[in-house]
Structure 1
Amino acid sequence: MDLFQIKKAPQVYDVCIVGSGAGGGMAAYQLSKAGAKVVLLEAGGYYDPADPKYITQLKWPYESPRRGAGTTRAFGDFDAAWGGWQIEGEPYTAAQGTEFHWFRSRMLGGRTNHWGRISLRFGPDDFKRRSMTGIGEDWPIGYDDVSPYYDKVDRLIGVFGSKEGLRNEPDGVFLPAPKPRLHELMIRKAGRGIGIPVIPSRLSILTKPINKDRGQCFYCSQCGRGCSAYADFSSSSVLVKPALQSGNVTLITNAMAREVLTDANTGLTTGVSYVDTESLQEKTVQAKVVVLAASTCETARLLLNSKSSRFPNGLANSSGVIGKYLNDSTGASRSAFIPTLMDRKRYNEDGVGGMHVFTPWWLDNKKLDFPRGYHIEYSGGMGMPGYGFMGGVAGLNGMIPGRDGKKRPAGGYGAAMKDDIRRYYGAFIGMAGRGEPVPLESNYCEIDPNNVDKYGIPTLRFNYKWSEAEVKQAKHMQDTFEEIIHAMGGIALGNKPGPENNYGLEAPGRIIHEVGTARMGSNPKNSALNSFQQAHDVKNLFVVDAAAFPSQGDKNVTWTILACSMRTSDYLIDQVKQKNI
């Protein structure tokens, strides 16, 4: 019998990463490959789209337990999104007269499990907007700094596309792009006829195998459900899984980070305090380096909540910019009925889980009345009909052309309704603009002094308003949509949005592309991070999600998160070798 009980010293990891999405997953992959001992904290549960208990692919809509009467998930019962804009027990607020919608995904891999896989590089101009226009802020890095990492991400993860030679829409290392479907061929013809480019999409979906661990797309068009063949990119299956297989990563799920811990004397990070969301116990992990990748707003919340006598305004916040310059992509949309697509023969037109073609920004903003551009995403075709399929016909004011050519009320019951559904199936298209806003200091998130979540962690309060620049951009989107619809011989559904509703501009946060709350820069007085996303104030603290980005770009940000996280990880490895950290 032992007379003395010896208490083991707690493990000190080389790196603690908070968040397992694009930035956190890439950091875990790169650092573990280099031999670092990593602890990966994820606020949600474990998820593997190939595990039978999680698979929702290839299920019919009627297999939903609610049979269309509602959903427990933001994008449908079968979507791989555990979370949403509202999560029970995790509130947030907005200041009076402002609006922001904050989407959170509580699962391994985060929002990479259910995104559109639109994988666009930022172009040379996207890094230097202030120099070019006098509006916004330049990045402290340029395209040439990130380009080699884009190439590495392309090869590691896989992205299809085509070489187009567009200066600010850089080409990548592409897999073959899938062929356009009928409605996309019509969109392409119409667009090109009026001077609007329509080119093959660039999505991180494998149109051919790239390694033995991942399969090839089988064109079920259900990427949002998570791919059981790992043919599309999600951090959980493509980055975290091989990182775990290295033996160098300890994954802790259901770990809601509360605070980044620091040494009172040196100011360096020492680890992270988190709440076990199942037991509600507070726990800590110790690490020599902390890497934050919790998502733009969650990372800001964590830094602002990490106060001490040395950091009274929050960790790494001597500049006062943590939480500020928050911006989300703009968004506006329109749908249309295309008569020439009626009465089609049925065939499988599923394709990949998303668009096969898109429109990159094609105009010169110097000749327009708004300073930033947008791209256009297209939808349509004979995909699996969901509940409310005939709802689109209502946009024709209830009157549709019958078989005799005369207009009559749509739908009804029984045989007449079935006949309408068959005739109009595949005859609708949609288009959505996704654009770049102007980052403003007045758009920010802060700690709400009056609220905590169910774990006792102070929550966020948002202050966000679109500027005139974004409203004018939305008007241009709507004008462009109508041009394309008219060129296709289509009928736009519903009334064209006008100034009374900002031309259909989506509310801030609804596009789920938020960036900027801990922006990088060359000057520590107006930025939180340096060019390698290392905190100016704390040399062993890094941020590898989109909180680090000074601006949005007119592209989706995931590919840039991945490339910059890989770049930061390589820099961290080098700094450790040089004993600077």
Structure 2
Amino acid sequence: MRRISLDQASSREWDVIIAGSSFSAMFFGYGLPPDLNILFVEKGVEYSHADQIENGWAVREAFNQRNSSGLKKNWIAFTLFGGNSNYWWGNVPRFHPDDFALNSKFGVGMDWPISYQDLEPFWERVEDIIEVAGGENEHILPRRKPLPYPPHTPSRADVALRASSPLWVPVSSATSNGGSRPNCCVNGVCRICPIDAKFTVLNGFEKLAHPRAHCLFGAEVRTLDIEGGRATGVHVKTADGADARLRGDIVALGTNGIFNAAILQRSGVRNEALGKYLHEQAVINVYADTANIKGFFGGTSETGHGYHFYHDIDRSTAAAALIETVNAPASIRRERGKWANRIHMRIAVEDMPLAENRVFLEEDEPVIEWTGYSDYAKRGVERVKAGLPDIIPDTIEHLEVSDILPSDAHIQGTHRMGLSADDSVVDDRLRLHSAQNVFVLGSGAFPTCSPANPSLTLSALALRASEVVG
């Protein structure tokens, strides 16, 4: 990818202009025909893995939020080349088939305009590119071929749990267990992986690079120019105050659900669902102190998934939940002889997106209005709390359950996909209903909230969207 200046970017016409450079933007660009001229517009700068290790985090966005929920709530996004791919945890489960049909199967939420089978070939391609390690869960999440690499070594707790139920399975991980990157060091400092074992846009760039792509750094897409139901380009501003209009035949927004919504709102896009239904999973931490089961010695930081509250359950009145078993960083007991007798679990509970949780503009900048998680999600949390003792095959000497954590670092909703502009913002290929040459990428397109981590699915959706660009 070649660097380009603002003057150079504004002096030519582009086949495709893409805002952002994280998962959705890069996988969309990767899937485009090789003869197209593509411009990535990235608000941040290049910040190498070595620089991150030496100097710490890049710029973290400070969002203006009005929180009436009574609980602390954070929305996390980083501005640099590769975006949040630099600081994710690397868990990449597929969504469950039921996630796509909540309304038709359980009478809640809305169905996605696509199915599990529609995404299957695109999940496969993304899993190959990011070298996913995992498997042994095909009885829950059907697949046509094995994952590229075997699962990480289970922790001692995982071994005991898997012996008790087929609903305990290895985690699907983008932290290496074979392939082009070094294997996981299992130190539990995964936000900035010290040995670069976790897939990022930076270390995966050679695989994702489009042959005719350029990148304009330090420039923010502020608005789209839309005339007669088509975008003709974008308006950008730089940190030093310069601005320009860039011309393009196709525009794709791959920032995040907050910024994508703000760009569309500034651009005069009118849609009843735009900016609404902001959501993410409600996450709790659980420590189960056990009489006999010991933890640790697994091959990566989070080694297992539990589908007891997700697979083949009734989701009509209470949310589903996905259990993650945590191997590192260490959490130990104080009792002599039992320091390792603890199962640490991180449990993600789906939310039911609410219209009142939204993004709107004030003085031309995005403001988040957050009223809290749905009662549906809270009932899901209570179902997990009540059911946990029944799925752990040991005497539980003490069970500690946290409140809902401030963030899962998953910004979802605000430009959801659907069949009609009456209740959605984009179609099944992520095209804006009111301007079909505008693609709005990322987890902002999710019409409902799976308990599973979003990165694999939002990448597959972007790859699928690129397929219709000729």
Compared with structure 1, are the counterparts of its residues 242 and 166 closer, same or farther at alpha carbon in structure 2 (3 Å cutoff)? closer
Q: CA deviation at 1:292?
A: 0.6
SS of alignment partner, residue 539 of structure 1 = strand
1:434 partner letter = A
Matching of residue 45 in structure 1 with residue 45 in structure 2: yes
Compared with structure 1, are the counterparts of its residues 283 and 152 closer, same or farther at alpha carbon in structure 2 (3 Å cutoff)? same
1:382-397 equivalences in 2 (<5 Å): none
CA distance in 2, matches of 1:124, 1:17: 30
Matching of residue 359 in structure 1 with residue 306 in structure 2: yes
2:176 partner letter = L
Of 92, 113, 123, which aligns to 1:150? 123
In the other structure, the counterpart of 2:327 is: 380
1:216-365 equivalences in 2 (<5 Å): 216-221=182-187, 224-227=190-193, 231-239=197-205, 241-244=206-209, 246-263=210-227, 266-277=228-239, 279-307=240-268, 315=269, 317=270, 319-338=271-290, 340=292, 349=297, 351-352=299-300, 354-360=301-307, 361-362=309-310, 364-365=312-313
CA distance in 2, matches of 1:118, 1:293: 20
Q: What are the superposed Cα offsets for residues 88-121 of structure 1, whole Å, 9 maximum, x if unpaired?
A: xx44121545764221111211112221211111
- TM-score, normalised on structure 1? 0.72
CA distance in 2, matches of 1:172, 1:436: 28
Contact kept? 1:339, 1:427, Cα under 8 Å: yes
Compared with structure 1, are the counterparts of its residues 172 and 432 closer, same or farther at alpha carbon in structure 2 (3 Å cutoff)? farther
CA distance in 1, matches of 2:59, 2:23: 17
Compared with structure 1, are the counterparts of its residues 438 and 428 closer, same or farther at alpha carbon in structure 2 (3 Å cutoff)? same
Q: CA deviation at 1:561?
A: 0.7
In the other structure, the counterpart of 2:353 is: 439
CA distance in 1, matches of 2:405, 2:241: 36
CA distance in 1, matches of 2:466, 2:102: 26
Q: CA deviation at 1:532?
A: 0.9
In the other structure, the counterpart of 1:106 is: 79
Q: CA deviation at 1:376?
A: 0.2
Q: What are the superposed Cα offsets for residues 230-261 of structure 1, whole Å, 9 maximum, x if unpaired?
A: 5432123314x5555x5512112222322222
Contact kept? 1:223, 1:232, Cα under 8 Å: no
Q: CA deviation at 1:226?
A: 4.3
Contact kept? 1:26, 1:235, Cα under 8 Å: no
| Aligned-pair identity (%) | 20
1:470 partner letter = A
Q: CA deviation at 1:196?
A: 7.1
CA distance in 1, matches of 2:419, 2:202: 33
Compared with structure 1, are the counterparts of its residues 45 and 429 closer, same or farther at alpha carbon in structure 2 (3 Å cutoff)? farther
1:207 partner letter = N
Contact kept? 2:63, 2:368, Cα under 8 Å: no
Compared with structure 1, are the counterparts of its residues 98 and 137 closer, same or farther at alpha carbon in structure 2 (3 Å cutoff)? farther
SS of alignment partner, residue 547 of structure 1 = helix
Q: What are the superposed Cα offsets for residues 348-394 of structure 1, whole Å, 9 maximum, x if unpaired?
A: 94732x2122112455443x77343111011136x5x6xxx7xx65x
Q: CA deviation at 1:135?
A: 0.9
Q: CA deviation at 1:440?
A: 2.5
Q: What are the superposed Cα offsets for residues 270-292 of structure 1, whole Å, 9 maximum, x if unpaired?
A: 22222222x23333322211101
CA distance in 2, matches of 1:401, 1:123: 40
1:436 partner letter = E
Contact kept? 2:52, 2:58, Cα under 8 Å: no
CA distance in 2, matches of 1:373, 1:162: 21
Of 152, 158, 177, which aligns to 1:207? 177
Q: What are the superposed Cα offsets for residues 496-538 of structure 1, whole Å, 9 maximum, x if unpaired?
A: 56xxxxxx2335xx11223221111112221111111111101
Matching of residue 473 in structure 1 with residue 380 in structure 2: yes
CA distance in 1, matches of 2:99, 2:142: 10
Compared with structure 1, are the counterparts of its residues 380 and 350 closer, same or farther at alpha carbon in structure 2 (3 Å cutoff)? closer
In the other structure, the counterpart of 2:65 is: 93
CA RMSD of aligned residues (A): 3.0
Q: Which runs of 5+ in 1 are unaligned?
A: 1-6, 57-76, 308-314, 394-399, 404-422, 498-503, 574-581
CA distance in 2, matches of 1:546, 1:375: 18
Q: What are the superposed Cα offsets for residues 525-561 of structure 1, whole Å, 9 maximum, x if unpaired?
A: 2111111111110121001211112112221111111
Contact kept? 1:373, 1:435, Cα under 8 Å: yes
SS of alignment partner, residue 423 of structure 2 = coil
Structure with bigger strand share is 2
1:69-84 equivalences in 2 (<5 Å): 81-84=57-60
CA distance in 1, matches of 2:434, 2:249: 16
SS of alignment partner, residue 184 of structure 1 = helix
CA distance in 2, matches of 1:333, 1:170: 30
CA distance in 2, matches of 1:537, 1:553: 27
Matching of residue 520 in structure 1 with residue 420 in structure 2: no
CA distance in 1, matches of 2:349, 2:380: 8
In the other structure, the counterpart of 1:491 is: 397
Contact kept? 1:12, 1:285, Cα under 8 Å: yes
2:250 partner letter = V
In the other structure, the counterpart of 1:183 is: 157
Q: Size of the alignment, in residue pairs? A: 460
Contact kept? 1:519, 1:529, Cα under 8 Å: yes
CA distance in 1, matches of 2:208, 2:132: 21
Q: CA deviation at 1:152?
A: 1.6
Give the greater-gyration-radius structure (CA): 1
Contact kept? 1:140, 1:522, Cα under 8 Å: yes
CA distance in 1, matches of 2:166, 2:48: 40
Q: CA deviation at 1:300?
A: 0.9
Contact kept? 1:121, 1:170, Cα under 8 Å: no
Compared with structure 1, are the counterparts of its residues 282 and 304 closer, same or farther at alpha carbon in structure 2 (3 Å cutoff)? same
Compared with structure 1, are the counterparts of its residues 45 and 339 closer, same or farther at alpha carbon in structure 2 (3 Å cutoff)? farther
Compared with structure 1, are the counterparts of its residues 380 and 480 closer, same or farther at alpha carbon in structure 2 (3 Å cutoff)? farther
CA distance in 2, matches of 1:516, 1:114: 21
Q: What are the superposed Cα offsets for residues 149-198 of structure 1, whole Å, 9 maximum, x if unpaired?
A: 11222222221222333245657631111221223323434xx2xx5721
In the other structure, the counterpart of 1:166 is: 139
- TM-score, normalised on structure 2? 0.87
In the other structure, the counterpart of 2:4 is: none
Q: Which runs of 5+ in 2 are unaligned?
A: 1-6
